[in-house]
Structure 1
Amino acid sequence: MRAIEFREFGGPEVLHIAEVPVPQPGRGEVSVDVAYAGVNFADVLARADGYRVPALPFRPGLEISGRIRAVGPGVQGLRPGQEVTALTSHSGYAEVAVAPAATVFALPEGISLRTAATLPTVLPTVQGLLHEVGRLRAGETVLVQSAAGGVGTVAGQVARLAGASAVYGVVSRPEKAEEALKYGYDEVFVGDGFTEGVRRATGGRGVDLALDPVGGDTFRRSLDSLARFGRLVAFGNAGGAAPWQIGQSELNPRGLSVAGFSVLTLAKDDPGALRTLAADSFRLAASGKVEVPVSAEFPLDRAAEAHRLMTARTTTGKLLLRVAGE
């Protein structure tokens, strides 16, 4: 079968197509004939910096959709031929992928395989950020970094459905602001001056909840954008800065809280909790109340082009690799 792998770290050019044996599911695992694979920034970090790469060569890819090819010993409730979406630890950029049965989800009625490939990371992440960690309450205000990205476009919609009184976004380019405004945002700020924009929009109060996947200076500015008793949830370090550190002198005067979230760590440590988040969030997609927009789709052998596009930070919504298609 065909799969994408890299044998050294570097730019998108290190990705290449390889002929490899078809993987077989072990105990508690499922193999899937892949229809589509999602492209995530974590895949870019794996290729460039070795993020979550235990050894080389390595095959990237964290989320897939397709039809079950085979089930391993001990798997219940899943069967060959069933249409599913799945969160994998790696190797999703392939014609066949293996995933733990605990992170394989039967498709809700009305969800296409193309849409399904957008679901495993984005929707549970948003559900966790807003409801489990962020504890969003009706009437509160929200600030979302990278508002035009995969998580950002969904976070705006879900926050609005949860009763947020106002949802603000931050993007890096003016054209991204136009895209983000389609997905639940009241106002979208461009660039690093968003703290002043937030203060203006909220009458000097700040927001109740901020979501930050960027880190570094953006993390600090998000913290400065909080209202008294506000919460900041960090869920990535896309900017590549040193890990954030925060102390009592910064939190205590205004009663601020800082927390973190990682859907990949949750999948590894507590897949049952991930299944609960997925069930709640997939229902929103099936109902049509939430859309995960796809901005570009590439065939499997053009995975490097997808990575170049994501690295350029010009993308909005989700990127997909088309493997077998529908």
Structure 2
Amino acid sequence: MRAVQIEEYGGPEVLRTVEAQVPEPGPGQASIDVAYTGVNFADLKARAEGYRVPALPFVPGLEVSGRVRAIGAHVTGLAVGQEVAALTEGGAYAEVAVAEAATVFPLPDGVDLRTAATLPTVLPTAYALVHTVGRLQPGETVLVQGAAGGVGTVLGQLARAAGAGGVHGVVSSAAKAAYALDHGYDRVFVGTFADEVRAATGGRGVDLALDPVGGDTLRASLASLAPFGRLVSFGNASSAQPWQVGQPELYPLGLSVSGFSILTLARTAPAELRALTERAFGTVADGSVTLPVTAEFALKDAPEAHRLMGARTSTGKLLLRVGD
């Protein structure tokens, strides 16, 4: 089978298409004939920095859609040929991928394979940030970093559907701001945002801030919170040192900080992930959330997909087209 792998860390050019052995599912696993693979920023960090890479050579990729090819021992609820979406621990940039059965999800009615490839990481993450971890209440205000990306696109729609009183986003360009305003956001700030957020909220700040960037951006998001506000960290795109927050920051206004990683949840609490994902997928099936595919590449063109995402000019979701 064809696969895209890295043998050394570096720029997009280290992604190379190779012939690889077809993987077989072990106990509790399923293999999938891949139709589409989602491209995520975590893939770029794996390629450049070794993020979640156990050893080289390594086939990156965290999410696929396709049809079940084979089923390992002790797997129930899946059938060969069934159309599914799956969250993987790598290996998705390939014609066949293996995933734990607990993270393989039959497609809801009306969801095609192309749409399905946008869902496994983005949609459950966004749903958890708004509802499960962020606990957004009707009338509250929310601030989202990376509002024009895949997760950001869904967050704006979910926050609006949850009855948010104000949905504010932060992006890096005017073009991205225009895109975010079309996907649920009331106001979008380009670059700096702390003073602008205070002005937009009458000096109060926001009730919920969602940050995938870390570093100085996380600190500024924390400073943008209203009394009793919550901040959820769900990534470290800046590659800054891990954040630390203590009494001096939290006590004066009764603030709280929490974190979320869908990949970690898949390992530590797969049953919780499955329940979360089923609820999240329902928002696509009922039409309340859409995630536009803004660029699609052939598998061999994975380096070009990485260049586009790495340039920070893309919006929505990027896909690799793998199978028929």
The TM-score bracket by the shorter chain reads over 0.9
How far 1:63 moved relative to its partner?
Answer: 0.1
Return the alpha-carbon distance in structure 1 between the equivalents of residues 46 and 100 of structure 2: 20
Is residue 2:216 matched to residue 1:207? Answer: no
Return the alpha-carbon distance in structure 2 between the equivalents of residues 254 and 270 of structure 1: 32
Q: Name the counterpart of 2:230.
A: 231
Q: Name the counterpart of 1:281.
A: 280
Return the alpha-carbon distance in structure 1 between the equivalents of residues 286 and 239 of structure 2: 37
Q: Name the counterpart of 1:256.
A: 255
Q: Name the counterpart of 1:121.
A: 121
How far 1:132 moved relative to its partner?
Answer: 1.2
Where in structure 1 are there 5+ consecutive unaligned residues? none
Return the alpha-carbon distance in structure 1 between the equivalents of residues 312 and 243 of structure 2: 22
Is residue 2:146 matched to residue 1:149? Answer: no
How far 1:135 moved relative to its partner?
Answer: 1.1
How far 1:272 moved relative to its partner?
Answer: 0.6
Q: Name the counterpart of 1:272.
A: 271
Is residue 2:37 matched to residue 1:37? Answer: yes
Return the alpha-carbon distance in structure 2 between the equivalents of residues 101 and 240 of structure 1: 31
Is residue 2:87 matched to residue 1:87? Answer: yes
What is the DSSP-based 3-state SS (H/G/I as helix, E as strand, rest coil) of the residue aligned with 1:70? strand
Return the alpha-carbon distance in structure 2 between the equivalents of residues 173 and 77 of structure 1: 45
Return the alpha-carbon distance in structure 1 between the equivalents of residues 315 and 188 of structure 2: 14
Is residue 2:162 matched to residue 1:162? Answer: yes
What is the DSSP-based 3-state SS (H/G/I as helix, E as strand, rest coil) of the residue aligned with 1:119? coil
Return the alpha-carbon distance in structure 2 between the equivalents of residues 25 and 220 of structure 1: 43
Return the alpha-carbon distance in structure 2 between the equivalents of residues 73 and 54 of structure 1: 25
Q: TM-score, with normalisation over the residues of structure 2?
A: 0.99
How far 1:59 moved relative to its partner?
Answer: 0.4
Identical positions, percent: 68
Give the aligned length.
Answer: 324
Alignment deviations for residues 197-250 of structure 1 (CA, whole Å, 9 cap, x no partner) = 111111111000000000111001101110000000000000111111111011
How far 1:53 moved relative to its partner?
Answer: 0.6
What is the DSSP-based 3-state SS (H/G/I as helix, E as strand, rest coil) of the residue aligned with 2:265? helix
What is the DSSP-based 3-state SS (H/G/I as helix, E as strand, rest coil) of the residue aligned with 2:136? coil
Q: Name the counterpart of 1:305.
A: 304
How far 1:11 moved relative to its partner?
Answer: 0.4
Structure 1 moving runs of 4+ over 4 Å: none
What amino acid is the match of 2:195? Answer: E
Q: TM-score, with normalisation over the residues of structure 1?
A: 0.98
Q: Name the counterpart of 2:323.
A: 324
Return the alpha-carbon distance in structure 2 between the equivalents of residues 167 and 121 of structure 1: 22
What amino acid is the match of 1:70? Answer: A
Q: Name the counterpart of 2:5.
A: 5
Where in structure 2 are there 5+ consecutive unaligned residues? none
How far 1:18 moved relative to its partner?
Answer: 0.7
How far 1:195 moved relative to its partner?
Answer: 1.0
How far 1:45 moved relative to its partner?
Answer: 0.4
How far 1:127 moved relative to its partner?
Answer: 1.2
How far 1:35 moved relative to its partner?
Answer: 0.2
> What pairs up with 1:48-63 in 2 under 5 angstroms?
48-63=48-63
Q: Name the counterpart of 1:22.
A: 22
Return the alpha-carbon distance in structure 1 between the equivalents of residues 286 and 301 of structure 2: 33
